[in-house]
Amino acid sequence: MPSYCVKPYIYFVTSMVLLLDAGTLTNGQQQFLRFWNTSGCLGDPFQSFTDSGVKSISLGRIQLYSRANGLWKVELCERTGCPTSIRAGVDDGCAEHDMSYDFTFFQVTRFGDADQSERKIVFFQDINFSGRSWSTNETGLYLTPSKRAYSYYFTGLNTWQIKAGEDAEDWICLNYSKTVGNNGYGNTYGKSLTTASAIEVGKVTWGCDGNVVTEVITDSD
């Protein structure tokens, strides 16, 4: 039996991102990522994102801090590469970024729709939402042969049934968290699945059979 398989009616629940007031969407659903060059994220940010984008850095080895509302990837780039970090938050803390190299620009990627309620799930072949990806909405997804996912995310009040193949008897259910349920929006994700917990994706169906949560698996954040 593949390592991801569990008995029917066992749900996998991963951690989510609860969004607070961002000022434009009701109930503060809008994702944003803001950057400061002052400790503590004090004063006005010098750069703000509500969608994916690129920003040049012309200040040398500046201090760089950020606050996140939602689920984001930050890549600080210099001539030999772009070290990556994942910023997931509820606008509840100021994070300092390692600026020990002469970075020339940074790029950010937003995961999920702006208000985090879309009926969509995205899988990635590598951890930290990287490598090739495949996604689906309520129409469902079939992969032949199946593919193994080491990270994924989905938004909103949605559940997803995953099988290794069309005729597989075992399945898992990825279910939104209790907090997402309470608030009606948010991101549920797994950013660094292990070899044992990676998900074999052959068939994806929107909505799960059964509604009893008997096991809780949380993300590392």
Residue 166 CA to residue 218 CA, distance in Å, equals 27
Residue type, 119: R
Spatial contact of 163 and 171, defined as CB atoms under 8 Å apart: yes
Beta bridge partners, 211, equal none
Is the entire prediction scored with pTM above 0.75?
yes
Question: Domain-by-domain residue ranges, the chain?
Answer: 11-18+115-206, 32-110
Convert the pLDDT of each residue in 165-188 to its tens digit.
888 888 889 988 776 787 788 888
Q: How many C-beta atoms lie closer than 10 Å to residue 92's C-beta?
A: 10
Does the pLDDT value for residue 14 go beyond 50? Answer: no
Residue 154 CA to residue 117 CA, distance in Å, equals 9
CA-angle at 197, arms to 206 and 143, nearest 5°: 45
In the chain, the percentage of residues whose pLDDT exceeds 70 is: 79
Q: What is the pLDDT of residue 186?
A: 83
Q: What is the pLDDT of residue 94?
A: 93
Convert the pLDDT of each residue in 48-66 to its tens digit.
999 998 888 765 567 889 9
CA-angle at 120, arms to 117 and 125, nearest 5°: 130
Residue 32 CA to residue 21 CA, distance in Å, equals 10
- Give domain 11-18+115-206's CATH architecture: Sandwich (2.60)
Residue type, 207: G
Q: What is the pLDDT of residue 44?
A: 94
For residues 97-112, average pLDDT: 84
